Structure 1
Amino acid sequence: MTGFPTSADIYLEMDGKKVAVVQSYTTRASKSSRNVEAFGEIEPVATIAGQRKYVLELTRLYATEDAISDGINFYELSDFSLVICKPDRKVIYSGCEWSDIQEEGQLNAMVAEKVTVVASKRIETAA
């Protein structure tokens, strides 16, 4: 694969099956690090890394034909993965749960406009 990712390269996966393609995404990672303070010290003596949190904003999700025939419902998705195929690696956000869904109504279209997802894990693999 060469070039930039396309919607075919960004998708939701559940139980090993591609259930939706994603037009675009934005990720935000944060960590709840904290300082360790000691009596009599002006500055912290150490910093402890905390848990990581991944929040992903997905735009224009289209359910795959197989997912539609299986009766997929974006509101019932749970414990799924977001897979992003890049030219040199694949990034997988797993243990995903949605926290916000915004839809636009169109006849006979299984499309969610924006979905906010919280992931528990992020891994990178070589392409």
Structure 2
Amino acid sequence: MKGFPTSADIYLELDGRKIAVVQSYRAKAAKSSKNIEAFGESEPVATIEGQKSYTVELTRLYATDTAISDGIDFYNLTDFSLVICKPDRKVIYSGCEWSGIQEDGELNATVAERVTLTAARRIETTA
């Protein structure tokens, strides 16, 4: 069994290649639901599960050397994945699109301070 996750264990992936490592993340999942009402009933008779949505806030992204040499730009990323390796499993957020990017620092820095992304899917696999 592996130890505690490090920044090398949290990364962005595009077309099977690691393009950035991430220092930390905060994930939020939400799910809509709908009540089913029946005529004459004072309360809903059932609740139906709706769509799930995943929002993840990443802190301190460092572009990999390969991504830099390939000219990958965080602002042009689309349909990428976030991979989080935990001691007993791997969590993958796929179909990601960014919704916010905050940069602080020096000119031409390869670091994005905070990126907020929305993922289409979340899956867990055993490590």
TM range (shorter): over 0.9
Report the equivalent of 2:67. Answer: 67
Give the TM-score normalised by structure 1.
0.97
Report the equivalent of 2:124. Answer: 124
Q: CA RMSD in A?
A: 0.9
Report the equivalent of 2:44. Answer: 44
Report the equivalent of 1:86. Answer: 86
CA distance in 1, matches of 2:4, 2:45: 44
CA distance in 1, matches of 2:103, 2:47: 42
2:106 is the alignment partner of 1:106: yes
In the TM superposition, structure 1's runs of 4+ consecutive aligned residues that sit over 6 Å from their partners are none
Give the TM-score normalised by structure 2.
0.97
CA distance in 1, matches of 2:33, 2:26: 23
One-letter code of the match for 1:38?
A
In the alignment, structure 1 segments of 5+ residues that lack a partner are none
- 1:3 offset after TM fit, Å? 2.2
In the alignment, structure 2 segments of 5+ residues that lack a partner are none
Report the equivalent of 1:97. Answer: 97
CA distance in 1, matches of 2:42, 2:5: 48
- 1:107 offset after TM fit, Å? 4.1
2:3 is the alignment partner of 1:3: yes
CA distance in 1, matches of 2:77, 2:19: 10
Q: Secondary structure of 1:67's partner?
A: helix
One-letter code of the match for 1:9?
D
- 1:106 offset after TM fit, Å? 1.5
Give the length in aligned residue pairs: 127
Report the equivalent of 1:56. Answer: 56
